[in-house]
Amino acid sequence: MATVLATGLTTSEAPFIEEARAHHQLYIHQPYELYSEENHAAWRSLFSRMQERWQRYGNKHFLRGISALCLDPQRVPRLEDVNRFLNPLTGFRAKPVSGYVPSFVFFDCLRNREFPTTITIRRSDRLDYLPEPDIFHDIAGHVPMHTDRMFADTLVRFGECAHTAAEIVNGIRDESLRLRRLESIIRAMARFFWFTIEFGLMREGSASKAYGSGLLSSYGELEHAIEASEVQRYPIQIEWVINQGFEIDHFQPLLFVVDSFDHLFGLVGELEKWMRAGKLDNVAPGEPEVNEQDLKSFLKASAHPLH
């Protein structure tokens, strides 16, 4: 117990999370009493240094959303408090998880207006970008957009696309062909998600502002994404996004701009049409890797279709 209290709920150092994983518990509760003073201090520093950058580079839906959530700048948020403000707006709620959520399961949560949320927080002496999500990335980076109706509906459409993918591969008899196509479809969906939900920009007048959570939760990258002359920023095109690899360990050199969340919603519908037409079956190889768990999650769903 002493160890538990000493390390709190710090990313990759939390015994509570290790235990949940050891018992294969993906859905957990948020044991709020375990957060250490260092954990709260990390939240405080992250939250306060982002204020000025959010005002300058955050898109208007984000700014509206973050104020609607009434987050405490001083303490790690309780998910039940977040949900009290969020749920009446769009039906979404943050759902605590112990770690990696296989891709079909993740998209299916979105379809049910649940957002798998990490409860650990990065170390207070390492506040800069870390490849794995933490509660700052999930709650301060993602959840503010979930207060927006059109954005919330867009996430639900993503979830529906995952079901469409499961249905499509269910119809393929040849096993190796089924796997090859599924891998390509998952890769295409992951790339689309990455270049929109995680790292998307939106046009605001003559400027571009961030709505992607990877940008909004990174002090250094948010400014870089908007200001750096070497970053390539282009109007989004599905054919480019689904064939474009990405790396997660450095600032993104290439970003895509949408006009609005109505535009984004329409693009997800378009993505689904492309999927049905077979245009996602052979996207360019490369990042991201599609892992065994992702493939299995879709195959399991395709064996038990919804309808």
CB 123 within 8 A of CB 129: no
Can you tell me whether residue 288 is helix, strand or coil?
Answer: coil
- Binding to Fe ion (CB under 5 A) within 85-114 occurs at none
d(C-alpha 251, C-alpha 122), whole Å: 18
Nearer residue to Fe ion within complex by CB, 184 or 213: 213
- Laid out side by side, the sheet with 254-258 consists of 207-210, 201-204, 254-258, 232-235
Can you tell me whether residue 44 is helix, strand or coil?
Answer: helix
Nearer residue to Fe ion within complex by CB, 26 or 179: 26
Q: How many residues sit close enough to Fe ion to count as binding (CB under 5 A)?
A: 1
Which residue type does 7 have?
Answer: T
Nearer residue to Fe ion within complex by CB, 213 or 302: 213
Q: How many residues does the chain have?
A: 307
Q: How far is the CB of 198 from Fe ion (least distance, A)?
A: 5
Q: How far is the CB of 100 from Fe ion (least distance, A)?
A: 12
Q: How far is the CB of 194 from Fe ion (least distance, A)?
A: 9
Nearest residue by C-beta to Fe ion? 213
Site of tokens 């360019």: 284
Which is nearest to 148 in space by CA: 65, 265, 241, 219? 65
Nearer residue to Fe ion within complex by CB, 126 or 300: 126
Q: How far is the CB of 178 from Fe ion (least distance, A)?
A: 29
CB 290 within 8 A of CB 191: no
Pairing of strands 254-258, 201-204: parallel
- Binding to Fe ion (CB under 5 A) within 197-236 occurs at 213
Q: How far is the CB of 113 from Fe ion (least distance, A)?
A: 17
Nearer residue to Fe ion within complex by CB, 8 or 141: 141
- Binding interface with Fe ion (CB under 5 A): 213
